């Protein structure tokens, strides 16, 4: 099953992580947007200092969620069991 062309499992994983961060329930986390993205490398748009990343276009999603007045942004690859990277604050 997909929502807006993006895998539901990735959205549910991101909602669970946002709920943990917000100290709330996953049901209280709202989906702001889900966007298909071709990341420029395997860092999924969130490189960390001192790390090396494969320089290969990596298709995935940018998932933006909101809970308790805070916004949470997650970047993923296409694999529903793959990395889920929190970006920004």
Q: What is the pLDDT of residues 6-21, one digit of tens each?
A: 479 999 999 999 999 9
Q: What is the pLDDT of residues 21-73, one digit of tens each?
A: 999 998 999 999 999 999 999 999 999 999 999 999 999 999 999 998 999 99
**What's the predicted TM-score (pTM) here?**
0.88
DSSP string, 31-42: EEEEEEEEESST
pLDDT of residue 42: 94
- State the residue for tokens 């702001």: 32
Q: For the chain, what's the residue count?
A: 89
Q: 10, 57, 16: which is closest to 35 by C-alpha?
A: 10
Contact at 8 Å (CB) between 61 and 14?
no
**Mean pLDDT, range 76-87, rounded to an integer:** 92
User: With contact defined as beta carbons under 8 Å apart, do 30 and 65 qualify?
Assistant: yes
pLDDT value, residue 7: 75
Kindly state the DSSP code that residue 46 receives in the 8-state scheme: -
């Amino acid at each position: 099953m997909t929502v807006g062309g993006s895998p539901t499992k990735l959205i549910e994983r991101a909602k669970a992580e946002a709920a943990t961060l917000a100290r709330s329930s996953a049901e209280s986390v709202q989906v702001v947007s889900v966007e298909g993205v071709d990341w420029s490398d395997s860092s999924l748009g969130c490189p960390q200092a001192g790390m090396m990343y494969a320089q290969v276009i990596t298709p995935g999603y940018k998932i933006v969620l909101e809970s308790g007045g805070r916004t949470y942004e997650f970047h993923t690859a296409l694999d529903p069991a793959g990395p889920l990277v929190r970006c920004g604050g």
